[in-house]
């Protein structure tokens, strides 16, 4: 789904895939293999030094967890997420709900490497929680998966 400028029209694409499980599966089959390859290449390039951060809504679906040292999930109440999509993307409420329902994920499988940040307060509260998790991230030794 391309716009007049030749770029992917993400909004039109979203309208198609977020309400059609088969269309979402086809899209993931196209996007997932090269994306996973790039993630693994980036991680290998670090050679145990530095931190690679992924902003990936579908992380659990893509089965990347074995390759990662720590997973941080940022969660917010559905109504807050809807309000944010309405304000930031100009979605209708129905479109926002389709997106949210279309990104329902299975649970993370290794709770020892999992942290959750609640994003239902102010930006200052969110930043404070993120800072605490970041301090933990930079303390992790490469390959230490006990977090």
Nearest CA to 27 out of 41, 13, 37, 39 is that of: 13
Dihedral of CA atoms 95, 88, 137, 62 in degrees, nearest 10, equals: 30
Nearest CA to 93 out of 102, 103, 83, 80 is that of: 83
Report how far residue 102's alpha carbon sits from residue 112's, in angstroms, rounded to the nearest whole number.
27
Please write the tens of the pLDDT for every residue from 6-30.
999 988 998 888 888 899 889 989 9
Please write the tens of the pLDDT for every residue from 93-145.
999 998 888 777 666 666 677 888 999 988 999 999 999 999 888 887 555 54
Report how far residue 133's alpha carbon sits from residue 115's, in angstroms, rounded to the nearest whole number.
8
97 contact partners, CB below 8 Å, separation of at least 6:
82
pTM to 2 decimals?
A: 0.70
Look at residue 5 in the predicted model and tell me its pLDDT. Answer: 94
DSSP 3-state of 116: strand
Nearest CA to 116 out of 60, 74, 145 is that of: 74
């Amino acid at each position: 789904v391309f716009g007049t400028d030749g770029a992917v029209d993400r909004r039109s694409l979203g309208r198609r895939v977020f309400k059609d499980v088969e269309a979402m599966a086809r899209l993931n089959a196209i996007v997932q293999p090269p994306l996973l390859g790039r993630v693994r290449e980036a991680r290998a390039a670090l050679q145990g030094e530095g931190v690679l951060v992924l902003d990936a809504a579908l992380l659990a679906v893509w089965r990347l967890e074995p390759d990662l040292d720590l997973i941080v999930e940022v969660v917010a109440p559905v109504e807050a997420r809807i309000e944010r999509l309405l304000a930031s993307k100009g979605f209708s409420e129905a479109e926002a709900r389709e997106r949210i329902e279309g990104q329902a994920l299975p649970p993370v499988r290794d709770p020892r490497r999992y942290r959750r940040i609640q994003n239902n307060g102010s930006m200052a509260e969110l930043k404070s929680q993120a800072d605490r998790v970041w301090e933990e991230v930079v303390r992790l030794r490469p390959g230490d998966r006990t977090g």
